[in-house]
Amino acid sequence: MTFPKGFLLGASTAAHQVEGNNIHSDLWAQEHMKYTSFAEPSGDAVDHYRRYAEDIALLAGAGLNAYRFSIEWARIEPEEGRFDEAEVEHYRDVIRCCRSHGVEPVVTLHHFSSPKWLIEKGGWEAESTIDYFKRYAVYVIERLGSELSYVCTINEANMGLQIAAIAKRYMMQMQKAAAAAKANAAQQAESSVQMGLNLESILAARKAAAEESRELFGTENPQTFQTQRTEAGDILIMRAHAAARDAIKAICPELKVGVTMSFHDFQPEPGCEDVAVKEWADEFTHYLPYIEHDDFLGVQNYTRTRLGPDGQLPMPDGAELTQMGYEFYPEALAHVLRAVAKDFHGDLLVTENGIGTADDSRRVEFIRRALAGVQDCIDEGLTVKGYLHWSLLDNFEWQKGFSMTFGLIAVDRANGQVRQPKPSLAFLGSYASK
């Protein structure tokens, strides 16, 4: 297998999941609520904030040439209108560390977590958020843009409607499920969104947490990025992306700017093709007007979704499941790349793909089969410019806490955060020299 010259092969992280002590963010506040939906708080996560140089050196030492990471808005602007230059310099150091190792930094400006003050002002359903996000993007790019080649504005900009859909489906499942099947119904619903969501806990804690949320955010229903989106809020996120993209291009026209989206490989049963068309429209095609001027699209995929006449079908009997309850199905990535390429004609960059598993040999097999599919897509003429595995490190997987292990590098949190590279890191790196 030989990828084209300049192909980006590397791994991804998200700031809140690896840096730790993100004390000015909305998620930090939610983690520490009495009635929290989080299994545990992030704390110092895996201390990537201080140990980034070690982690980047491990990535580069394996032969990888790209690292996608996020800049944390809540660090840059901890209070409305107050920007922290020291934090900008921190991320400049991360970028320069990448460059010193021959690693291309791919920066994401927003990866799920937001400043707490933004949520107090209405969050991701408020019109003002468009201007706030644009202002933040301009601030960062004016200072760091000359040192970058790739910028993702927003991670998984299409996730809000997915969460709304699975919440509705979850409630329907729970109404139909017998008490003995309650846990299974919850898992089935949660596994249909590609993040560490603990939907059952979220819904159970909602009423109890209402007053606590009012004290923290000024509202019983804080509109964080991970909240179920209205149709207006869904489009608001895309408008924020477009506003930031245009502002970034005005400052640094040479920068490649895009957005990342979460995609499922929809596979309809015979006669259910119309169901798949609707699902794909909800997941992707209705966003096309907002990304048609993007330089690239970040493609994120973890599994497939089988569809029947009433929507999502259960996992096949005997299917191998990952820690997240996803079906082990690496071929989904190539299917999604082909589907996306039919409607989006810019470059494609795989910004997340991987599995949560304690068995690294299965991660190796997942990578092997996923990359074979990427190679096939390139051979077919698709402009796939890179593959960034999720994730570089075992980390804080949102509401699921530290129990999910997606990393190419294990972290011994009970023993000084010692890094332990897994065989999958070297396996992924081996493709860089082929």
- Report, as residue numbers or ranges, the catalytic residues: 156
How far is 330 from 43, CA to CA, in rounded Å?
A: 32
How far is 185 from 95, CA to CA, in rounded Å?
A: 43
Query: Residue 134 in contact with residue 41, Cβ under 8 Å?
Result: no
Give every strand in the sheet of 311-312, ordered side by side: 265-268, 304-308, 311-312
How far is 117 from 126, CA to CA, in rounded Å?
A: 13
- Return the half-sphere exposure (C-beta side, CA atoms, 13 A cut-off) of residue 113: 33
Residue 12 β-bridge partners: 68, 390
Cis peptide before 430 (omega within 30 of 0): no
- Which of 252, 238, 216, 260 lies closest to 351 in space, CA to CA? 260
Query: Residue 13 in contact with residue 47, Cβ under 8 Å?
Result: no
How far is 118 from 124, CA to CA, in rounded Å?
A: 8
112: left (phi over 0), alpha (psi -120 to 50) or beta: left
Residue 110 β-bridge partners: 154
- Which amino acid does the sequence have at 351? T
Residue that is written with structure tokens 């995929």 in the block? 301
How far is 196 from 357, CA to CA, in rounded Å?
A: 13
Query: Residue 334 in contact with residue 373, Cβ under 8 Å?
Result: yes
